[in-house]
Structure 1
Amino acid sequence: MSQAAAIPQEHGRFPYSAIVDRPPLRWPHGARVAVWVIPNIEHFLFDRPGAAIVPATTAFVPDVLNYSWRDYGVRVGIWRLMEVMERHGIRGTAALNADVVRHYPRILEAGKTLGWEWMGHGTNNSTMINAQSEEEERHLVTTVLDAITEATGTRPRGWLSPGLSETHRTLDLLAEAGVGYVANWVNDEQPYPMRVRSGSMLSLPYSAEINDYAAFIERAQTGEDFAQTIRDQFDGLYEDGAVTGRVMAIALHPFLIGHPHRMRAFDRALAHITSRQEVWLATGSEIADWYAQHHQAR
């Protein structure tokens, strides 16, 4: 059988659901919007290309310019981000490469003090999930979850793949390993259940739009541009949330948002969000638990 013939034309993970046809979703204390902030804390291998600010050197091995630009995030940017989020009472749900456990334990120490949640985020951000055999992928998932559990004392309940990458069996293997929610699918403003071979899986809204990588690298936005996009997104969701609750995901990379010229504007965007009353500042697991307990069975 050819490889093309083995690829299904339909994913089969969930039925179509129009948000206007669903029962109203209500968050705790009448909140209109559940806001979760997802810092992507990543390690990149030195011998291959990755995210780049200067494309001219990406073919170099090593590409010192772009590697060191990314390395800024774990050395400097994450600390500025933690300070600003703490100022606004926001606990992060960090998407964590397992290699971070070995290379940057100081970040985990600080995150635990702040009460952050940890999601699995692959081994490192140079290794996508797309070409592994089933056993290789199962080993990758288990190794990542075990490493984070050992380092933090808590087994991750959520998962965000590097580059949001999946094979056709990733969701099944995640559920098999005890993961309860995934953030790879960016197609909704509310959680929804996904079909898996065994166990259960919930999709939590993530964003390729309210994402500093898309903003700064793909769209060449300034820090103020991105902050205004965040405010506009929040205001729209807040208005819609009066009818049925919404989720706002803010996806961040410390090597991008962590620079002072961007962080000052982001600080103001968070102040705008936290100035409203009907907002729930939540972690991924808190959103998943509330939805499962109050809405999933309906």
Structure 2
Amino acid sequence: MDTHDSVFYENTTVISRRPLIWPNGYRVAFAAVVSVEYYELRPPSNAFIPANVPGGFGRAPYPDVRAFSQREYGNRVGVFRVIEAFDKSGLSATAAVDAAVAQSYPYLVRQFRERRWPIVGHGYSLTRVISNKMSIDEEREYLNVSLTEVQKQSGARPTGWHGPEYGESERTPALLAELGIDYLLDWPNDEQPYVMRTPSGTILSLPMALELDDVVAHYHRRISMKRWKQAVLDALDQLTGDGRQSGRLLILNLHPWLIGHPHRIGYLEELLAEIASRNDVWKTTTQQLADHHRTLNSHAI
């Protein structure tokens, strides 16, 4: 067993587990997450902001207008191009919404609700990342506020979670389980769902493809859009082949402030169209993945 303070998961390899069966015999499942984030112009003095945020030239002296405006673009312009790209393809996505976006942009939450996209919690803001700097009471309050603010706008409490910048403390999975969260998206250490066990109960980990995350690929590694699109398709081809023995998973994380620019969105549209046309991929959502795993493993969750 691997241990992370109060978190435990089985130390198994993908070839040693009971074969994973997707519906209708699919070998690979594809889902997408659209991360909708708020970048505070003046974060609290005690906020933890990783060195890679905002990227590029790094943080400017306050007020950090450049980084703030860049993220605002995603919530005012880019997100609508991303939504339209999914509409055109006929695919659905999961919306990861932080509390500040729910408060400041309730019309975005309505857009997701109208399309019946699953909505997961995404922290308070991009500029307040979870870490061990928080006390357990501070983190519990942070998580509860993050979920409650999204619930106010969406009408339903999220059952999934994606921390800002994939951030967690050693306690986060246990606290999320305590608050009724069924699944999280922060551990990119597998190509299959797996169960985490905590003192508060179990929580399902749905690993995202961190290497293909648009911020990691384009903003940090400077991979071209053409090459990124092909990399996603190459990954699906490989996973389909690997899925002969046991089903595989690809969850793609997208950020409207980046992928929603006019010189990038066409590549996303092409990618989604190609995925939609494939008959060998289960096109699904994170909620459906969690529901399917629960059905197959009701004794474990």
Q: TM-score normalized by structure 2? A: 0.91
Is residue 23 of structure 1 aligned with residue 46 of structure 2? no
Code of the residue aligned with 2:286 in structure 1: it is G
Counterparts of 2:17 and 2:4, CA distance in 1: 27
Tell me if structure 1 keeps the 8 A contact 2:56–2:219. no
Gaps of 5+ in 2: 44-48
* Corresponding residue number in structure 2 for 1:5: none
Is residue 121 of structure 1 aligned with residue 122 of structure 2? yes
Counterparts of 2:112 and 2:118, CA distance in 1: 8
Tell me if structure 1 keeps the 8 A contact 2:55–2:220. no
* Corresponding residue number in structure 2 for 1:246: 248
Structure 2 counterpart SS, 1:285: helix
* Corresponding residue number in structure 1 for 2:236: 234
CA RMSD in angstroms, aligned pairs only:
1.8
Structure 1 counterpart SS, 2:9: coil
Q: Deviations over 1:34-72 (max 9, x none)?
A: 11100110001002578446406x232112222212211
**Correspondent of 1:194 among 177, 193, 196:** 196
Is residue 134 of structure 1 aligned with residue 116 of structure 2? no
Counterparts of 1:46 and 1:275, CA distance in 2: 42
Code of the residue aligned with 2:295 in structure 1: it is Q
What is the 5 A alignment of 1:91-130? 91-130=92-131
Change (3 A) 1:143 1:267: same
* Corresponding residue number in structure 2 for 1:205: 207
Structure 2 counterpart SS, 1:21: coil
What is the 5 A alignment of 1:241-280? 241-280=243-282
* Corresponding residue number in structure 2 for 1:34: 29
* Corresponding residue number in structure 2 for 1:179: 181
Tell me if structure 1 keeps the 8 A contact 2:151–2:158. yes
Code of the residue aligned with 1:241 in structure 2: it is G
Counterparts of 2:281 and 2:155, CA distance in 1: 29
Q: Deviations over 1:168-218 (max 9, x none)?
A: 111111000000101110000100000111222110121211100011111
Change (3 A) 1:242 1:88: farther
Code of the residue aligned with 1:37 in structure 2: it is A
Structure 2 counterpart SS, 1:34: strand
User: Identity of paired residues, percent?
Assistant: 36
Structure 2 counterpart SS, 1:200: strand
Is residue 13 of structure 1 aligned with residue 13 of structure 2? no
Structure 2 counterpart SS, 1:154: coil
Question: How much does 1:150 deviate?
Answer: 1.7
Code of the residue aligned with 1:61 in structure 2: it is Y
Structure 2 counterpart SS, 1:248: strand
Tell me if structure 2 keeps the 8 A contact 1:25–1:295. no
Tell me if structure 2 keeps the 8 A contact 1:222–1:262. no
Question: How much does 1:9 deviate?
Answer: 7.6
* Corresponding residue number in structure 2 for 1:146: 148
Gaps of 5+ in 1: 1-7
Aligned length: 290
Question: How much does 1:128 deviate?
Answer: 0.8
Question: How much does 1:295 deviate?
Answer: 4.0
Structure 1 counterpart SS, 2:119: strand
Tell me if structure 2 keeps the 8 A contact 1:51–1:70. no
Code of the residue aligned with 1:200 in structure 2: it is T
Q: Which moved more, 1:209-218 or 1:45-54?
A: 45-54
Tell me if structure 1 keeps the 8 A contact 2:34–2:255. yes
Counterparts of 1:224 and 1:108, CA distance in 2: 31
Tell me if structure 2 keeps the 8 A contact 1:43–1:100. yes
